[in-house]
Amino acid sequence: MTAEYTSPAVPPPGAAPPTAGPPTDPPADPGSTSPVADLPVPPDGAPLVEETPPPDDGTPWQRLDGRMIGADALRVLLSMAPAAVALLVVGVEPDAGVVWPLAILAAWGAFKAVRNTVRWVTTRYRLTDDYLERRTGLLVRSHRSIRRERVRSVDGEARLLQRLFGLRRVKVGAGQMNTAMESALVLDAVSRAAARDLHARLLGEDRTAAASTVAPSTGAASTAATAAAGTPAGGEGPEAAAPTGAAPQQLSRLRPRWVVYNCFSVWGLLMAAGLAWGGWVTLGMFGFNAFAWVRGLADWGAIGVPGTVAAAVLAAWALGVVGLAVNFATTYAHFRLERTTGDHGAVLRTTQGLFRTQEINRDENRLRGATLSEPLLWRWLRVADPAIITTGLSVWSSASAILPRCPREHARGVLTEVLRAGDDDPLRARLHRHPAGALRRRLVWAVAVATTAIAVLAWLAATTALPHAVWWVTGAVLLPAGCGLAVAGYRSLGHAFAGPWVVVRSGAVNRATSVLRTGAVSGVRVRQSLFQRRLGLATVTVSTAAGYGAYEAVDLAAPRAAEFADRALPGGVAAFLEADPPVR
């Protein structure tokens, strides 16, 4: 059974007139492919990203920076350097095992250099009073333009070679996709001065005033001191903002100890495999037999297969940990999260990177909520992964994660400051537990899945050469683990309302607490499966034009579901309610 309700376009008779409050998501503009909030509609009704050229006002077109050709030439030389050293200096015999990796590496570098040279020849861009335009393409010409009032982010990054040549890659976003599924207009690469000029003219941010501030105000000094202590200052209302030209407010910075929370992951094994393969190929270029070296480290025959496998797993785990630690240190070096101001209001900016620098700007007017994720294996350390819910930003984008994995209390404090929640702190709200039927439902599913797996293995053991020990060992492991995850999933369930925020939490392996502003909720759905109806449960899904697009309050008591939906979308489902006790 599924019931869906959407926000009414016209208020019902007798409803109070709208009052000032937090921003809400208006309907999408005609012709656009995704909703855009808090943006004025152009008088001529033009789409957000133009695929036809706007009127020519005589502004001259500019090229990308020509130094990108020099950077590409250096990239080609570096890609060929291992082959030159191995074949000419060391004198390694050019057999197939050495030549093919070197040839592929050199060919890839040459291909990228030629492609970027063609792109430099064919690409032009200009910034007029109304548009940012870009023309590119050799065989197929493309002309893209973005209205300047639609621009909500100007992100810059530079890889090591680009930094050496004083170049930047600028990505200008307006929060929508065009017909080619491109979400931003990219200029790769422009000079450092041109990137700064684009950032200042498109966002209207006064960095000179911020940098020249000598004596910060009392409030700014208090904020900086609080951030240095590890917990950001709070207490500002949703509409509060620093005046334009004020010094950026630092919300968080990197703590060296955070590397411990980010270097233990299943991805470490994949990184170890990649590093081992790369090392084997590189050493093989110079005539070093890595396999023979590993075989001579110990008497693997005497150790046996279990000992050999354990040693291999331990070595891979250690190599992966080191690789993840180095990757984290280089990626998040000099990390800072700041709030600054521009023509469009407050901007959340993160800067980070050692070899590859990156700056990401997020328009605070498009912020709709936040998510705090706590992986099961990390909960005992009280750490979490914080992210924001914002329109025009994909949840798969790294820009949605405003902090690396860090202590949970620090993450909560930063998100509270980012949301400007003040006294109505939704991330510390007391969550209401869900009924015991939700636990029974999870236990039934856990037992059913484990029993099915055991029965299949037992049948295979009886009809094939599979040892009988496999199915009972699997049962001894799978059944307790499944029941444990069922209990963990039930204990994770919760919901609450804190001021203008709706809070939902769920997840067994990855417990996620999502906070969403009620003014951003565009629709609700109340759903009951067959098993949920028998247990008196229901799931309420709130929809929004941000983040994942939908967030669920799983396995509520069925009599409470409609009132939960009414509080999440005020006035949207009032006609469907019965006289039940209100949701706490």
Q: pLDDT at position 380, please?
A: 84
Q: What is the CA radius of gyration of the chain?
A: 28
Structure confidence at residue 435 (pLDDT)? 94
Q: What is the pLDDT of residue 52?
A: 58
Burial of 87 (0-12, 13-18, 19+ CB in 10 A): middle
In a shared domain, residues 228 and 311: no
In a domain, 46, yes or no: no
Q: Are residues 214 and 310 in the same domain?
A: no
Residues 347 and 423 in one domain: yes
Distance, in Å, from the CA atom of 370 to the CA atom of 418, rounded to the nearest integer, reads 9
| pLDDT computed for residue 3 by the predictor | 47
Q: Are 144 and 50 in contact (CB under 8 A)?
A: yes
The answer on 408 and 337 residing in a single domain is yes
Question: Is there a single domain that holds both residue 384 and residue 238?
Answer: yes
Same domain, yes or no: 319 and 280? yes
> Vertex 195, ends 189 and 196: CA angle to 5°?
165
| Beta strand spans in 17-85 (E) | 49-50, 62-63
489, part of any domain = no
Does residue 321 belong to any structural domain of this protein? yes
- Whether omega for the bond prior to residue 106 falls within 30 degrees of 0, making it cis, is no
* pLDDT given at position 347: 86
**Quick one: 309 and 345 in the same domain?**
no
Residue 383 and residue 395 in contact, taking contact as beta carbons nearer than 8 Å: no
Give strand ranges (E) for 364-455: 367-375, 383-390, 406-407
Whole-number Å distance between alpha carbons of 348 and 362: 5
- Whether 412 is in a domain gets the answer yes
Please name the residue that has the structure tokens 């208020």.
Answer: 11
Residues 219 and 338 occupy one common structural domain? yes
Amino acid symbol at 520: A
Other Cβ atoms within 10 Å of 5 Cβ, number: 20
- How far apart CA 268 and CA 117 sit, in angstroms, is 36
Which of 433-451 are b and which e, b meaning 16 or more Cβ less than 10 Å from the residue's Cβ? ebbebbbebbbeebeeebe
In a domain, 13, yes or no: no
- Binned average pLDDT, 10 residues per bin, the chain of 584 residues: 41 40 38 36 42 73 91 82 70 62 76 87 92 90 86 84 90 63 76 90 60 36 36 37 63 93 86 86 75 83 86 91 93 93 80 90 88 89 91 70 93 93 88 94 95 93 87 91 94 93 94 93 92 93 90 92 88 60 52
Tell me, yes or no, whether 267 and 234 share the same domain. no
> Where in the sequence is the domain holding 317, given as residue range(s)?
259-331
Residue 103 lies in a domain: no
Task: Determine the Cα–Cα distance for residues 51 and 28; give it in Å rounded to an integer.
Answer: 19
Domain end (from 331, 354, 372): 331
Q: Of 331, 352, 377, which residue sits at a domain end?
A: 331
Q: How many domains does the chain have?
A: 3
- 409 part of a folded domain: yes
| Pair 554, 442: CB distance under 8 Å | no
Same-domain status, 408 and 294: no
CA distances from 312 to 90, 275, 294 (A): 31, 14, 10
Cα–Cα dist 530/1, whole Å: 8
Q: Give pLDDT, residue 95.
A: 60
Q: Identify the pLDDT of residue 15.
A: 41
Q: Are strands 62-63 and 124-127 parallel, antiparallel or unpaired?
A: antiparallel
One-letter-per-residue 3-state SS of 91-128: CCCCCHHHHHHHHHHHHHHHHHHHHHHHHHHHCEEEEC
Q: Per the structure block, which two tokens stand in for 42? A: 């152009």
Residue 544 in contact with residue 524, Cβ under 8 Å? no
Specify whether 289 is located in the same domain as 309.
yes
Sign of CA dihedral 164, 170, 171, 173: positive
Closest C-alpha among 147, 155, 178, 167 to residue 40: 147
Q: Where a domain ends, among 307, 331, 355?
A: 331
pLDDT (0 to 100) of residue 282: 76
The pLDDT value recorded for residue 182 is: 54
Q: What kind and span of H or E run contains 149?
A: none
pLDDT value of residue 229? 35
- Our measurement of the distance from residue 452's CA atom to the centroid of its chain's CA atoms, rounded to an integer in Å, reads 36
Instruction: Collect contacts of 445-452 with beta carbons under 8 A, ≥24 apart.
Output: 445/486, 446/479, 446/482, 446/483, 446/485, 446/486, 447/479, 447/482, 447/483, 449/478, 449/482, 450/475, 450/478, 450/479, 450/482, 451/479
Question: Residue 309 to residues 127, 291, 363: CA-CA distances in angstroms?
Answer: 60, 16, 50
Residue 229, domain member (yes or no): yes
**Torsion angle of alpha carbons 261, 262, 268, 274, nearest 10°?**
-160
245 and 351: one domain?
A: yes
